[in-house]
Homo-oligomer: A and B are copies of this chain.
């Protein structure tokens, strides 16, 4: 049940067997059907959510009613809105499951207790935020300097298989283009 989480943790910190055992008691398994919401705009994102199976999309609507995808998270990623979770302020995003999914969740309070019991976890979450920051910065730089087709190809490399699991308009929005244009890019790529 907690295997994927533990193996993910072990990439960043090393835990003894007792620590691992203790840790798992803090994370509650939960199931979400496709099209369930972990959070809606204005709500606080209360549970840090590690994806064990399935996938989640974090997105918002702008004033023109257009969707903007902030994150796509599948197995082995943290889904949702880190910022709302950490600050316990209302989120600007919807977080929705795009497949039937199973996750492991921990509340802010639970996490604070866990930090006291296993201080290494503080380090782990600092690294997670750090990585979120750097990947956001890279995406930002890419959006500004690379044409959409190249961004799409790099997306396919970076998140293999994801394009089969979420609708194309989600991918388009993640890339910062309109679905019609992604369709044309795909057509061009197919012809070769």
Contact = CB atoms under 8 A, between A and B. Distances in A.
Interface of A: 60, 62, 66, 68, 70, 82-83, 86-87, 122, 126, 129-130, 132-134, 136-137, 139-141, 143-145, 176
Given A122-B122, A133-B133, A144 B143 contact: yes
Q: Residue among A70, A83, A140 with the most chain B CB within 10 A?
A: A140
A132 B136 CA distance: 10
Contact of A126 (B68, B126, B140, B141): B126
Contact of A137 (B62, B86, B136): B136
Contacts of A144: 68, 143, 176
Contacts of A60: 141
B70 A141 contact: yes
B176 A134 contact: no
B70 A137 contact: yes
A66 B66 CA distance: 30
Looking at chain A's contact residues, the main secondary structure is: helix
A82 B132 CA distance: 13
A68 B143 contact: no
The 7 residue pairs across chains A and B that have the minimum distance between CB atoms: A144-B176, A133-B133, A136-B136, A62-B145, A83-B134, A140-B140, A129-B129
A37 to B, nearest CB: 20
A70 B142 CA distance: 11
A145 B66 contact: yes
B141 A139 contact: no
Q: Residue among A60, A82, A129, A145 with the most chain B CB within 10 A?
A: A145
